[in-house]
Amino acid sequence: MTQRKGIVLAGGSGTRLYPVTVSISKQLLPVYDKPMIYYPLSVLMLAGIREIVVITTPQDQDQFKRGLGDGSQWGITLSYIVQPEPEGLAQAYILAEDFLDGAPSAMVLGDNIFFGHGLPELLADADAQTDGGTVFGYRVADPERYGVVAFDDQGMARQIIEKPSVPPSNYAVTGLYFLDADAPRRARDVTPSARGELEITTLLESYLHDGSLSVKRMGRGYAWLDTGTHASLLDAGNFVRTLQMRQGMQTGSPDEIAFGRDWISADSLQERARMFAKNDYGAYLEGLLKERAAGTV
């Protein structure tokens, strides 16, 4: 089976976060103690994906390269693609077609944060589906802001509607998409919407019409946050801080995931811990090393 590849879509101008994002990409803003992009990147790593492309704006790409490098510090391979103009989420599959080279993909939006005890298992189930696609529905109080799933009487998805004035359900489609190798071809067939964009809902609808799209509902035990406004960015930071202070465990740490999966050595993690020696993140990585040495993890 061809190994699934990852896409982090970190383009866009971030105008809803102006003036904060006038000089820096939204996805490089801090969510409590880590850059925002660490969180979606961690989701792909939790899915076992080690070959990942980051799609950025032309002016922001150097910032991402400085912050993330080639991924070797985490035992993964990172490459970069420029999105000349933001023309819809489905455009990512066209831009990444050469990178994917016939492989299935998992795409995550660079401003989405996922948390939940069973998340690795949920991702593994989606990864195991080689034909068609899997997306995730999450119950929200304001579904009119999202792409919303309409279900039939048997609870099966029958339609996905972008920002409906009268939502057919409270389940929004999250910014995480597991699609097969046919996604770039389907994306090229998408007709631009009235706002001139290649809508991801139209791409997903093509799979749905073929009966090859699975919509998995994320239950009460999961959190899905987007960080597209000043308020939601603050909320996400407070959420992460509360979890970490209460549990003494990191959320969205590529270093911890890489070490836990033996993608990097103890020496490599030690080097990272030294880099962050003056803050709690470095202390946490030191703690992981001590736990491993003591055999408690």
Is the pLDDT score of 145 beyond 80?
A: yes
Is the pLDDT score of 278 beyond 90?
A: yes
| pTM: predicted TM-score of the whole model, two decimal places | 0.96
Four-point Cα dihedral 193, 199, 204, 208, nearest 10: -20
pLDDT given at position 297? 64
| pLDDT: which is higher, 57 or 195 | 57
Lowest mean pLDDT among 87-96, 134-143, 166-175, 192-201: 192-201
> Residue written as tokens 């979606």?
40
Closest to 86 measured CA to CA, from 95, 78, 77: 95
Measured in whole angstroms, the distance separating CA 204 from the mean position of its chain's CA atoms is 17
DSSP for 160-228 reads EEES-SS-SSSEEEEEEEEE-TTHHHHHHTPPP-TTS---HHHHHHHHHHTT-EEEEEE-TTEEEEE--
At a CB cut-off of 8 Å and minimum separation 6, what does 48 contact? 123, 124, 127, 261
Task: Give the mean pLDDT of 212-234.
Answer: 93
| pLDDT: which is higher, 86 or 99 | 99
Cα dihedral 233, 236, 240, 246 sign: positive
Is the pLDDT score of 138 beyond 90?
A: yes
How far is residue 265's CA from residue 43's CA, in Å, rounded to a whole number? 21
